[in-house]
Chains A and B, each alone.
Chain A
Amino acid sequence: MNYSFLSAVAGVAVAAGLGATAASAATLDDVKAKGFVQCGVSTGLAGFSAPDDAGDWKGIDVDLCRGVAAAIFEDASAVKYSPLSAKERFTALQSGEIDVLSRNTTWTMSRDTELGLNFAGVNYYDGQGFMVRKSLGVNSALQLSGASVCVQTGTTTELNLTDYFKANNMTYNPVVFEKLEEVNAAYDSNRCDVYTTDQSGLYAIRLGLSAPDEHVVLPEVISKEPLGPVVRQGDDQWFNIVKWVHFAMINAEELGVTSENVDEMMDSENPNIQRLLGKEGTFGEAVGLKNDWAYQVIKNVGNYGEVFEANVGESTPLGIARGLNALWTNGGLQYAPPIR
């Protein structure tokens, strides 16, 4: 009894001590030393981060990690993925288990300020919505009073849901699961009347249900859900790398540089393109990378528009329109500071 207690205490102490070494040190040096980027992704959300038939991870969140890898290693495949539940994700990042969390994570003030994390931009502007069975005959979220609602634990969704029902004087019964697949299964087996999560997620999840045509996503968007990559606080260099990889992809789309034409664009006379592709200036060196970092990102992964179209756009089964995620020049919100 005594001995097991003592050894347990010693174990806790050692574990706490080990945590110290993991979280410090420059992330870029660690990443270069081990030769790959450890990227936290979802456990499978089509279009954002999900393994395909061949077991390769695909999605716009995945492509951000691949972009970071391309900028560092000139090789977009130098990424290892850690599938994380909503509950596990922040701890995995805080403890140093992953280098960047790119997992449809909503940027909120408390997450930004209390968890020791930094959000490095917004790669998808989303909003929370509701999905129901068509047979319910519901066409507005305001008719949902009394419903059973399936929701994933540890998400902003869980709180927005409460706020929305409260604000509209409606009641509901939550059915809460930790893993996305469990929520999907519960909704599919009719345990709940309503499924709520980010609208992009609802479209992705609907594809995986046994009868996708029998479900409808309601028009109401009840929250702002800016989704973006997250890094640990206190390593500004790494924060800058992730942030600017994202910006480089948006700037590339704005300047018309694609993975197809990037080699021809090297000869462009446009000074904006020259700075982007590293022909002019030493922007890469300032963040510890080579000057052709953005060229590598675009060449290996593509610009933001290409990534969007390939993973969630109109030509994919998800068929999501650019909407808020169009460039600012097209009336959307995607806007990157200039490279100069």
Chain B
Amino acid sequence: MAHTDGVADGTEDSGRASLLYDPKARGLFFQAVLIIVVAYLVYSGISNAAGNLARAGIASGFGFFEERAGFEIGQTLIHYTNDSTYFRAFLVGLLNTLMVSALGILFATIIGFVVGLARLSRNYLIRKLATVYVETLRNIPLLLQLLFWYKAVLAVLPNPRETGLEQGTTVLWTLNNRGLYIPRLIPEAGASAILIAVVIAIALWVVIGMWASKRQMKTGQQFPTFLTGLGIFIVLPVLTFFLTGMPFDVEFSALQGFNMSGGTVIRPEFIALLLGLSLYTASFIAEIVRAGILAVAKGQTEAAYALGLSPNHTSRLVIIPQAMRVIIPPLTSQYLNLTKNSSLAVAIGYPDLVAVFGGTVLNQTGQAVEVITITMLVYLTISLLTSAFMNWFNARVALVER
């Protein structure tokens, strides 16, 4: 005690004589030094790389984006031909990555929640099955699982010419080793009315929900918001569909020559990748969900029962909101993992960003530094955006302490 007093006295005596001993000034100084060092490292790294590329006679720059790609891509969500630019090819790859990631996150979440709850089931069989699911899938490397699904999906499916279809005869759907063929809806004039109807239905759903919760606050009366909303959501667009005179043309697929033509095709590479990513990530999500629910103290359930809440209400209003606080942060990293793992698509020939842009485009242009940098930045951006969204969601569901 006496010692610290002495030090305090000393600083008091010297006053602000020396900037050298001012912790704030020292802090600022070291920050500045660090920034200068980092800036120099970045500058020398970039200029060194650029200098070396120039000396080795390797073309550099981003001009290649405007050039004609000259290759085809197996699955495109936007219009793309071999006459499109490399930038268009980049977009195609990016959208393919985003699609498989978004659907993978959706399915992984659903399966993960179901399996996580099943692990807590009182039913012995369900509980054990869920345990086997989790322990098997999360302990086998994802790449092997993808290869397994790809071979498994492919091996069991027949060739389109062996499925007994007649040449040129249209079918409602068919599954063969070229993919799952389903009819394609081609919108005609008036189809946008249906889209508007869907938007109106969702808006109505929200308005009813707000009205119902207000009323419940005031009078305590409950209103079946979900069923009403769902009813509007289904009835309104269907009604519009018939009122506008069914403004859709349906294109069926048919066997033409070697392959099916027409319709929409979901390719086996996509199916295998989606299956692999969803099932693998779901096994981790299941554990996160289980942990989250177990983290809610048993007293909470007992208290809810004591207040006379039904088991349904107990889990919906008491357990899950509290479990979500524990679930969401690790869930975010699973979503990020799934998105990044989607780059394993390259092993099974799904044209994702890494396969199309980091593979074909890199090779045809030879501009490895640019292409890899862009690919990394894209994954970084996707991950940061996912993370930002989940943080926002987490802040919303976080326990409000009063």
Alpha-carbon gap, A10 to B59, bound state (A): 25
Cross-chain contact B363 with A154 (CB below 8 angstroms): yes
Is residue A234 contacting chain B, with contact meaning CB distance below 8 A? yes
Return the chain B residue nearest A153 by Cβ.
B359
Cross-chain contact B366 with A159 (CB below 8 angstroms): no
B54 to chain A, nearest CB (A): 10
Alpha-carbon gap, A116 to B367, bound state (A): 11
A174 in contact with B258 given A116-B56, A154-B360 (CB within 8 Å)? no
Cross-chain contact A146 with B257 (CB below 8 angstroms): yes
Return the chain A residue nearest B265 by Cβ.
A173
A103 to chain B, nearest CB (A): 13
In the complex, which residues of chain A have a beta carbon less than 8 angstroms from the beta carbon of B268?
A: 191
A285-325 vs B, CB cutoff 8 Å, 1 = contact: the mask equals: 00000000000000000000000000000000000000000
Alpha-carbon gap, A12 to B42, bound state (A): 8
Is residue B72 contacting chain A, with contact meaning CB distance below 8 A? yes
A260-271 vs B, CB cutoff 8 Å, 1 = contact: the mask equals: 000000000000
A129-173 vs B, CB cutoff 8 Å, 1 = contact: the mask equals: 000000010000000111110000111001101110010000011
B348-381 vs A, CB cutoff 8 Å, 1 = contact: the mask equals: 1101000100011011101010000000000000
In the complex, which residues of chain B have a beta carbon less than 8 angstroms from the beta carbon of A190?
A: 159, 177
Is residue A232 contacting chain B, with contact meaning CB distance below 8 A? yes
Is residue B271 contacting chain A, with contact meaning CB distance below 8 A? no
A9 in contact with B346 given A115-B58, A154-B359, A176-B360 (CB within 8 Å)? no
Alpha-carbon gap, A195 to B58, bound state (A): 32
Cross-chain contact B349 with A176 (CB below 8 angstroms): yes
Cross-chain contact A173 with B259 (CB below 8 angstroms): yes
Cross-chain contact B41 with A13 (CB below 8 angstroms): yes
Is residue B168 contacting chain A, with contact meaning CB distance below 8 A? no
Cross-chain contact B151 with A189 (CB below 8 angstroms): yes
Alpha-carbon gap, A115 to B365, bound state (A): 9
In the complex, which residues of chain B have a beta carbon less than 8 angstroms from the beta carbon of A155?
A: 363
A193 in contact with B73 given A17-B48, A86-B363, A154-B360 (CB within 8 Å)? no
Alpha-carbon gap, A190 to B155, bound state (A): 9
In the complex, which residues of chain A have a beta carbon less than 8 angstroms from the beta carbon of B127?
A: none
In the complex, which residues of chain A have a beta carbon less than 8 angstroms from the beta carbon of B53?
A: 116
A2 to chain B, nearest CB (A): 10
Cross-chain contact B38 with A9 (CB below 8 angstroms): yes
A80-124 vs B, CB cutoff 8 Å, 1 = contact: the mask equals: 000000110011001000000000000000110011100000000
A225 to chain B, nearest CB (A): 16
Return the chain A residue nearest B359 by Cβ.
A153
Is residue A178 contacting chain B, with contact meaning CB distance below 8 A? yes
In the complex, which residues of chain B have a beta carbon less than 8 angstroms from the beta carbon of A116?
A: 53, 56-58
Is residue B46 contacting chain A, with contact meaning CB distance below 8 A? yes
Is residue A6 contacting chain B, with contact meaning CB distance below 8 A? yes
A234 in contact with B55 given A19-B49, A177-B349, A191-B177 (CB within 8 Å)? yes
In the complex, which residues of chain B have a beta carbon less than 8 angstroms from the beta carbon of A193?
A: 258-259
Cross-chain contact A186 with B259 (CB below 8 angstroms): no
A168 to chain B, nearest CB (A): 13
Alpha-carbon gap, A91 to B268, bound state (A): 31
Alpha-carbon gap, A172 to B81, bound state (A): 11
Return the chain B residue nearest A132 by Cβ.
B258
Residue among B55, B82, B362, B366 facing the most chain A CB atoms (10 A cut-off): B366
Cross-chain contact B258 with A12 (CB below 8 angstroms): no
- Size category of the binding interface on chain A: 35 or more
Cross-chain contact A232 with B42 (CB below 8 angstroms): no
Cross-chain contact A173 with B58 (CB below 8 angstroms): no
Is residue A33 contacting chain B, with contact meaning CB distance below 8 A? no
B86 to chain A, nearest CB (A): 13
Is residue B52 contacting chain A, with contact meaning CB distance below 8 A? yes
Is residue A182 contacting chain B, with contact meaning CB distance below 8 A? yes
Cross-chain contact A9 with B70 (CB below 8 angstroms): no
Cross-chain contact A159 with B38 (CB below 8 angstroms): no
A130 to chain B, nearest CB (A): 13
Partner of B155, one of A10, A110, A189: A189
Alpha-carbon gap, A154 to B363, bound state (A): 5
In the complex, which residues of chain A have a beta carbon less than 8 angstroms from the beta carbon of B349?
A: 175-177, 182, 186
Is residue A211 contacting chain B, with contact meaning CB distance below 8 A? no
| B window 155-172: CB within 8 A of A | 155, 159
| B window 70-93: CB within 8 A of A | 70-74, 82
Cross-chain contact A148 with B45 (CB below 8 angstroms): no
Is residue A23 contacting chain B, with contact meaning CB distance below 8 A? yes
B28-61 vs A, CB cutoff 8 Å, 1 = contact: the mask equals: 0000001000100110111011011101111100
Is residue A54 contacting chain B, with contact meaning CB distance below 8 A? no
Is residue A16 contacting chain B, with contact meaning CB distance below 8 A? yes
Residue among A9, A10, A23, A190 facing the most chain B CB atoms (10 A cut-off): A190
In the complex, which residues of chain A have a beta carbon less than 8 angstroms from the beta carbon of B355?
A: 153, 176, 178
Return the chain B residue nearest A172 by Cβ.
B72
Alpha-carbon gap, A86 to B346, bound state (A): 14
Is residue A25 contacting chain B, with contact meaning CB distance below 8 A? no
Is residue B204 contacting chain A, with contact meaning CB distance below 8 A? no
Cross-chain contact A176 with B56 (CB below 8 angstroms): no
Cross-chain contact B258 with A162 (CB below 8 angstroms): no
Is residue B202 contacting chain A, with contact meaning CB distance below 8 A? no
In the complex, which residues of chain A have a beta carbon less than 8 angstroms from the beta carbon of B351?
A: 176
Return the chain B residue nearest A192 by Cβ.
B178
In the complex, which residues of chain B have a beta carbon less than 8 angstroms from the beta carbon of A223?
A: none
In the complex, which residues of chain A have a beta carbon less than 8 angstroms from the beta carbon of B269?
A: 175
In the complex, which residues of chain B have a beta carbon less than 8 angstroms from the beta carbon of A111?
A: 366
In the complex, which residues of chain A have a beta carbon less than 8 angstroms from the beta carbon of B315?
A: none
In the complex, which residues of chain A have a beta carbon less than 8 angstroms from the beta carbon of B71?
A: 158-159, 162, 174
Alpha-carbon gap, A251 to B55, bound state (A): 35
Cross-chain contact A174 with B74 (CB below 8 angstroms): yes
A94 in contact with B178 given A153-B355, A174-B73 (CB within 8 Å)? no
Cross-chain contact A91 with B368 (CB below 8 angstroms): yes
Cross-chain contact A234 with B363 (CB below 8 angstroms): no
Alpha-carbon gap, A174 to B82, bound state (A): 12
- Name the 9 nearest CB pairs between A and B, nearest first: A154-B363, A13-B45, A13-B41, A116-B56, A116-B57, A116-B58, A16-B49, A16-B45, A114-B59
23 A–B contacts, CB within 8 A, in A order: A13-B44, A17-B48, A19-B49, A20-B52, A87-B362, A87-B363, A115-B366, A116-B56, A145-B257, A153-B359, A153-B360, A154-B360, A162-B71, A163-B70, A172-B72, A176-B349, A176-B360, A178-B359, A186-B154, A189-B177, A191-B268, A193-B258, A233-B57
7 new A-B contacts, CB < 8 A, other than A19-B49, A116-B57, A146-B256, are: A20-B48, A91-B368, A154-B364, A162-B82, A178-B346, A191-B268, A232-B56
* B contact set with A: CB distance below 8 Å: 34, 38, 41-42, 44-46, 48-49, 51-53, 55-59, 70-74, 82, 151, 154-155, 159, 177-178, 256-259, 261, 268-269, 346-349, 351, 355, 359-360, 362-364, 366, 368
